[in-house]
């Protein structure tokens, strides 16, 4: 991790305040600074140091909350809902479509770093299930053709 990033992290800590209860907002901000949208170990240690809290507390927070990643993700983070309503509406076939179109397994990142694919708990789009979230955008009522079209449109820059 570059010094420039560590300096920016120090600024975030200064702005938000390095009290323990601010750990989550701090991590949220910091994650957006890092290419691959994750909290590397070195960064977690740096934050723990600056906040005067045990490293384990930062590691546990990162692994507990689904919004945080401890490994690099794609520029476009695809999350497929694996809660009940989506499952009933055959989210499994959507997982298969995504894995086929992206040529990766769930939990992996494409070689070009563009897409990652992960499961997510329900994100409130049950009425349009099966649904995925690509970064902050939700797509629902999915089928194979829609998946192909969404991925293609993201690849050519039509969707962001």
Binding site for ligand FES (CB under 6 A): 81, 83-86, 122-123, 125-126, 129, 131
Shortest reach from residue 142's CB to ligand FES, in Å? 11
DSSP 136: T
The residues near 100 (Cβ < 8 Å, ≥ 6 apart) are: none
Q: Identify whether the C-beta of residue 155 lies closer than 8 Å to the C-beta of residue 114.
A: yes
Q: Could you tell me the end-to-end alpha-carbon distance of the chain, in angstroms, rounded to an integer?
A: 27
Nearer to ligand FES, 1 or 88 (CB): 88
Shortest reach from residue 146's CB to ligand FES, in Å? 16
Check residue 72 and give left, alpha or beta (phi > 0: left; psi -120 to 50: alpha). beta
Shortest reach from residue 109's CB to ligand FES, in Å? 23
Nearer to ligand FES, 62 or 131 (CB): 131
């Amino acid at each position: 991790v570059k010094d420039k990033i560590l300096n920016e992290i120090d600024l975030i800590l200064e702005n938000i305040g390095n009290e323990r209860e601010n750990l989550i907002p701090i991590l949220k901000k910091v994650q957006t600074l890092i290419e691959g949208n994750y909290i590397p170990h070195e960064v977690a240690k740096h934050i723990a140091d600056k906040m005067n809290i045990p490293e384990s507390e930062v590691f546990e927070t990162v692994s507990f909350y689904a919004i945080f990643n401890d490994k690099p993700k794609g520029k476009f983070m695809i999350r497929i809902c694996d809660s009940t309503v989506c499952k009933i509406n055959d989210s499994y076939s959507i997982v298969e479509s995504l894995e086929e179109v992206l040529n990766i397994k769930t939990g992996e990142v494409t070689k070009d770093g563009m897409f990652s694919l992960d499961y997510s708990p329900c994100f409130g789009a049950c009425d349009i299930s099966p649904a995925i979230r690509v970064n902050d955008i939700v797509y629902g009522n999915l089928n194979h053709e829609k998946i192909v079209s969404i991925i293609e449109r993201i690849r050519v820059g039509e969707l962001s």
